[in-house]
Structure 1
Amino acid sequence: MVNWRKERGSFSFWVLILVLFAVQEIQTAHHKHEVKFTAVGTPQTLFDLLIVAFVDDVQWGSYNKASHQLAVKAAWISEAMGTTFIEEMQRLLINHEQDFQRAIRHLTRNDTKTERNHTLQFRFECELGDNILLGSLVKYGLDGEDLIQIDRLEGQWTVLNPRAHGFKFTVESPFWTEERKHYTKKYCVGAMQKIFQKSSMRKNLPPEVYVSHQDFPDGTISLSCTATGFYPPSILLHWKKGIDGAIWGKENSSGTLPNSDDTFYLRISLEIQPGDTGTGYACVVDHSQLETPAVYPVPEKSSKWNLWVVALSILLAAILMISCFVIFAKWKKRMAEILEWFV
């Protein structure tokens, strides 16, 4: 059995993970920090390591064993953190790559098949709102099975798999506690402060809103309101009818989702009952980049008479074009005959 407490730097990597859950007054808005680690290897060799980090559901960084590079996706976050700080974190991850392999070896020490590949996974979440910790989670898993987790609000490690009992003793040791304090101050609180104190560097954008109206054969009507391309992600969408009209129907929401350009997307739909014409409805959008909540009426369905008018107009235009072409062709032919006669 490996003596984990005596191996130099064995737990420094794990400490780096736990720092994501320290509570610090950083910003009054709601924020979420999430990091996911996936390591693949045997007790003797680490084959692959992938790390993906998110701030407010926007991927800000990634790292993989092949490149040994900590890539920061959002330019404003890279500028906010600074080159020196990013390079320091990158060196730290490179130095602790073997800690993943040691963790796999420790957690699989009782396995008979020592050459078998294993996948070690870590999931970390931390949410702050108005300087209050709303929730946090650290969870470890091996080969698709949960091992051990800690809820920051409760502050107690919970063993989810018998093979993690020894690991629980390690993370609760004095050595672990002292190391965690150091990494909490420098890499969790420090990184979060750098990001949120410079969050004004991120270009804020108002939403683009699209409202539609769709009829179904069974008589129901579906109204859809889509807001996209906005930042920051906090936004409110709701339906209204008239001035104070009550809304009756089945409402669905996509939830706020990230776009590929680091902006966000939200779609809400309302299925109203048969007999309701769908007139008078509007989508109300409230976002920090709008001076006041914006109201977007649902476009009215075109009547059959309007459709006939459009169709007739197109037909008359086509007839006029054909007539002009025929007249021009006859005139051209006549002019040719006249020129031929003079010649």
Structure 2
Amino acid sequence: MNNSYQRIVMASRPNGEVKVENFRLETVPVPEINDGEVLIRNHFLSLDPYMRMRMEDVKSYAAPQAIGDTMIGGTAGQIVATKNPKFAIGDYVVGMQGWAEMGVSDGTLLRKVDTTHIPLSAYLGAVGMPGMTAWYGFTQIMQAKPGETIVVSAASGAVGSVVGQLAKLRGCRAVGIAGGAEKCAYVVNELGFDACIDYKAGNLLADLAAATPDGIDAIFENVGGEIFDACLSRMNPFGRIALCGMIAGYDGEPLPIKNTRVLLTMRLSMRGFIVSEYPELWPQGLKELGGLAATGKLKFRESVAPGLAAAPEAFLGLLKGKNFGKQLVKLN
């Protein structure tokens, strides 16, 4: 085994858009593990929009990313050394080792996974935190019934793609919103949504009206801004909104909402949520998602960047919607 590995730290806080210069690649020695700890060689790193918010020094749901520390991030890998009786060398595990080729854990936030029927990378996507985010927002907040119309923004992404498929399995009409004809074709033809609106085509309101003739009963919101505003204008009475992300405003742009009066007139329920705050529901959600993925009923797509050094560029691309499906980094 090499006696060093690479990691990426946050070198500086972004001012507006994130830049590659906000990150620094470092080579550091492999640490010795203590009793109760394991050493993991990470095979995949997950890149997710929440990381952008964590780079800001503002009041939020979690402490900000510290300058000079390894960037936060979900990882999937294999145990290469262990002093913890619950884990053996060769075990595949998912954890939060960050933007690094290796990591040490005391096992607290480490989950053993079975790669017999589900590829390791999927545990960072459809059968991991993004899948659980979709599952929680859909089952606990949207609570859509058969026959209802649901709309999900960023529908081709890691979270949105799962929301629509869960909705179809529950007998709902699923309408996606995505950027570009290729993504929309995938959402309808591969994932089985009833319709997908290309917000880049310039006919958002008209296309949304055509795709939701009976109005909208529930929204899964990942984007915010004008897309969210357009969906609000189509809401039915007593509609539910799962507020998952506001990626349109992550670089600091204001996100004015014109249709706020609809919240009152249509008696809507809107709830923001952070999926890590509901650990008691993870076993139930992951069991359902794992079963669907293993039997081919839950489809997913991945964009994979090669090597840790490619992570910052891939992250910038993710924030601009350049990824297709779940954005991962394959570590050497």
Q: Same fold (TM over 0.5)?
A: no
Q: Tell me the TM-score normalized by structure 2.
A: 0.22
Greater Cα radius of gyration, structure 1 or 2? 1
Greater length-normalized contact order (CA 8 Å, ≥ 6 residues apart): 2
If each structure's strand is expressed as a fraction of its own residues, which one has the higher value?
1
